[in-house]
Structure 1
Amino acid sequence: MAEKNNKHPFWLIAFIVIATVVGSIFIVVQEINRPERYDSKVATEIAKKNTDLKKVDRVTRFVYNQVEYTVSGTKANGNSIFVVLTDNGKKATVYDQTAGVSEQKAIASVQSNPNLKKITSSRFGIIKNKPVWMVSYINQKDRLVTKTINFKTGEELKTITTY
């Protein structure tokens, strides 16, 4: 009888340890993602406050020398716009989405590359006061490649490959 009683505490302790580990992992993952969710919420609020943006489709983080947030969506009249927030949200620059190359065209210009393996992201932002698309992909050598495409002309401005 003494042996049976010893087995139950083992399973109880094992369950408590496993539950603690799983719970800890869950909390860590939530904490890691919290700043991004908060930043997206704040960016949306600032964009709506400073423009006539009514419906938000997407919020992206754009990093090039500084962190920017781009809020894409539609105005009350139905026009699609990008609102780029710089200087910690103090400056909002609005671009009409039809005034340049669409995201699909920017991606298509990259997809024509024979070395492309997988597109990882596409983001709209501002570099040196010019609106651009930054499209990143993995090439056949498993290296990350980032192409910067001029929003107004569709011209490729820069290509960066990691080694």
Structure 2
Amino acid sequence: MKKILWGIIILIVISIGAGSFIYLNSTKPVRAAESKAVEIAKQETDLSEAEDFNLYHGAETFYVIEGKDHDGTSIYVWVPEKKGKIVSLKQSDGISKNEAINRLKQEKNAAEIVSVRLGMEKNIPLWEIHYRSGSNLINYYYIDFKTGEWLKKIENL
């Protein structure tokens, strides 16, 4: 009985170790991208403190950093993965995440909002809202960050 118990414990320890190893190795590229993007943003913009980081994969990939500038003002910084213009805007220069969600709900019947993140398409900062409709279909709704106007939608995937 003791051998079986020790065998199970060893198996659990090996499983936890392997899972941890796989997880850490799979997140390493994202952590490296975050570190590089934050460093570039601090050099090229007024970003002094990074609070959140997201990846946006559209026509081009952007690293989006939420943080504060040297005056303590909340800002967003869009850093292109490849060469391109870095954009930095005060959060107050556009609509909030909740306002973007409310705009979606006014127009569409979103059964479940899966994710809301900032992105950039054709040099326009935007909110990308990924949601499921009542029939459980995947939809994307894009709202201009500055104006709050609808830009495009991809429906019923």
**Shorter chain as normaliser: what TM range?**
0.7 to 0.9
Which residues in structure 2 correspond to 1:18-57 (within 5 Å)?
18-57=12-51
The residue identity in structure 1 corresponding to 2:79 is: L
Output the CA distance in 1 between the equivalents of 2:3 and 2:135.
53
What RMSD, in angstroms, separates the aligned Cα atoms of the two structures?
Answer: 2.2
Partner of 1:145: 139
Q: Please tell me whether residue 159 in structure 1 is matched to residue 147 in structure 2.
A: no
The residue identity in structure 2 corresponding to 1:32 is: S
The CA deviation at 1:68 is 0.6
Contact 1:130 1:150 in 2 (8 A): yes
Identity %: 28
The residue identity in structure 1 corresponding to 2:123 is: N
Q: Structure 1: 5+ residue runs without aligned partners?
A: 1-6
Output the CA distance in 1 between the equivalents of 2:156 and 2:26.
25
Q: Structure 2: 5+ residue runs without aligned partners?
A: none
What secondary structure does 2:65 align onto?
Answer: strand
Structure index of larger Rg: 1
Match of 1:65 among 59, 70, 78: 59
Output the CA distance in 2 between the equivalents of 1:110 and 1:23.
43
Partner of 2:117: 123
Structure 1 residues 114-160: Cα deviation after superposition (integer angstroms, max 9, x where no partner): 52122122222220121211111122122221101112221111111
**TM-score (ref. length: structure 1):** 0.82
Contact 1:64 1:127 in 2 (8 A): yes
- Number of equivalences: 157
**TM-score (ref. length: structure 2):** 0.85
